[in-house]
Amino acid sequence: MDPDDILGRRGDDPLTALLREDLDRLSVAELEERVAALEAEIARCRAKIDGAVSHRASADALFKAGFK
Map out the domains of the chain as residue ranges.
Answer: 25-68
Q: What CA–CA distance (Å, rounded) separates 53 from 42?
A: 16
Q: What CA–CA distance (Å, rounded) separates 10 from 60?
A: 34
**Count of C-beta atoms within a 10 Å radius of residue 67:** 6
pLDDT score recorded for residue 57? 77
pLDDT score recorded for residue 25? 97
Q: How far apart are the first and last CA of the chain?
A: 48
Mean pLDDT by 10 residues, the chain (68 residues): 61 85 97 97 96 83 69
pLDDT score recorded for residue 47? 96
